[in-house]
Amino acid sequence: MRGRPAAAVAVTDMARMSNGTNKRALAPFILVIAILGSGQAAFASVLPEDRTDFLYHRYEGGGVTIDGPSVLIRKSVGKSVSLAANYYVDMVSSASIDVITTASPYKEERTQYSLSGNYLRGNTTVAAGFTSSEESDFDAKTYNLSVSQDMFGQLTTLTLSYAFGDDTVRRSDDPSFFRDNIRQQYGIGVTQILTRNMIAALNFEVITDEGFLNNPYRSVRFIDPGSPVGYSFEPELYPRTRTTNAIGLRTKYYLPYRAVLEGQYRYFIDTWDIESHTGSIAYLHPWKDFVFSAKYRYHTQTGAHFFRDVFSRSEATNFRGRDKELSALSSQTFKFTAAYEFLPDGWGFIDKGTVNFSLDHLIVDYEDFRDISTGAAFGSEPFYQLKANVFQLFFSFWY
């Protein structure tokens, strides 16, 4: 909970291990799509394959190190049901800019358990899941449900989804501190096969949050003439509600020589006056039993209406925040992925396996958040820049 980088959470998500299909003749193409992620949407009315994934991930950047393992097991029960279980661990060591300026470095561990299932009947797929995440001062439980319907000769797939989250926020230094947050997410998506080589997906989601939405450890700074450095700190205070809206478009084009070109765009806006644009382009190229990919992502956003790097005085506004992720910012991500398919003829009960490696290099420029750890004079501190690397290595086995 204490200063976990949003970027780290996003790029180390186990969901990047996507599902394939049981059509062995399409194996080279499936491997390409699997590296892109969300390949299942390209094939209508098919349950996920039986497979097991073993992942190790590591995030390093901004004084924060996050690493740990994850295991995902998926198995079909009959011809209509597929069940999955996931175990995921984050071990965090943090001396981030948020921590070293107002608190002491810390270490903690987060464990996450997930159970999910898919039920297929005709052209309809129902998916449900439960996720529980625990750490020393933050617990989260999420329940999700979605229904997908294939239409128009299985060229179009319509998906409706809903998720309910119940979070509990605590403080490790105050046993009496106990706050709740309720989160609901509504989504609708359409996936359309446009040509034999091109597929597109359009998704819209609304998320509502209500409760304690800020970090209990983070502080804001305000001008204080009586302080030797010219400023002092006080606890931040966020609104108790937030509604976000996002729409995204994703397209994949399958090139004649089995390569894939992908483009994505996402627009986001919320009631805190944050507005963002995110775009990315990726290219995947197969070579023998390998698939290589490169991806570039650009993100820009405005700041929240209650964010200030420094406030004019103590309790200057009704709501106050200095989380750098709420600042106006821009970021660039460069990603490289390599995958190798082995055991093409199987081994025992295993049909095939793949080993996958990815590296993300992230650069974030914060346009209204100053790095006060430099010791520069008040008001002349440089704006903070984050550079981080994310490594992922995982093995997948189909059976």
The DSSP-derived string for 120-145 is EETTEEEEEEEEEEEETTEEEEEEEE
pLDDT number for residue 126: 96
pLDDT over threshold 70, residue 99 = yes
pLDDT for res 38: 38
Tokens of 357: 């490696």
Residue 43 pLDDT greater than 60, yes or no: no
What whole-number distance in Å separates Cα of residue 37 and Cα of residue 337?
12
pLDDT of residue 258: 86
| Degrees to nearest 5, angle at CA 222 with 177 and 379 | 135
DSSP assignment of 195-213, as one string?
Answer: ETTEEEEEEEEEEEEEE--
Residue 257 contacts by C-beta under 8 Å, 6 or more apart in sequence? none
Contacts of 20 (CB under 8 A, 6+ apart): 30, 33, 34, 39, 40, 48, 49, 51, 398
**Nearest one of 86, 175, 92, 90 to 132, comparing CA atoms:** 86
CATH architecture of 6-345+359-398: Beta Barrel (2.40)
Binned at pLDDT 50, 70 and 90, residue 346 comes out as confident
The first and second tokens of residue 298, run together, are 């650009």
Residue 253 is predicted with a pLDDT of: 97
- For residue 42, what pLDDT is reported? 40
Q: Read off the amino acid at residue 325.
A: E
Q: How many Cβ atoms sit within 10 Å of the Cβ of residue 3?
A: 23
Buried b (16+ CB within 10 A) or exposed e, 354-373: bebebebebebbbebbbbbe
What global pTM score does this model have? 0.86
Is it the case that residue 10 has pLDDT exceeding 50?
Answer: no
Q: For tokens 């980088």, what's the residue?
A: 5
Whole-angstrom Cα distance, residue 27 to residue 30? 5
CA–CA separation, 388 and 381 (whole Å): 21
pLDDT in tens, 266-288: 999 999 999 999 999 999 999 98
Q: Which two tokens stand for residue 8?
A: 């780290």
Mean pLDDT of the chain: 88
Which pLDDT band, with edges at 50, 70 and 90, does 140 fall under? very high
Query: Which of 77-81, 92-96, 338-342 is predicted with the least confidence, judged by mean pLDDT?
Result: 92-96
Closest to 281 measured CA to CA, from 325, 250, 310, 314 = 250
pLDDT of 1 reads 60
User: Stretch 335-359: mean pLDDT, rounded?
Assistant: 93
Alpha-carbon distance values, 49 to 18, 30, 149, 220, 242 (Å): 10, 12, 19, 49, 38
What percent of the chain is modeled with pLDDT above 90? 78
- Determine the residue type at 99: V
Average pLDDT over residues 79-107: 87
Confidence of residue 3 (pLDDT cuts 50, 70, 90): low
Answer with the residue of higher pLDDT: 343 or 2: 343
Mean pLDDT, range 363-368, rounded to an integer: 96
What are 22-41's pLDDT values in tens digits? 322 223 333 443 444 433 44
For residue 5, the model assigns a pLDDT of 52
336 and 357 Cβ atoms separated by less than 8 Å: no
CA separation (Å) from 179 to 73, 138, 166, 206, 322?
Answer: 34, 10, 11, 23, 20
| pLDDT band at 315; cut points 50, 70, 90 | very high
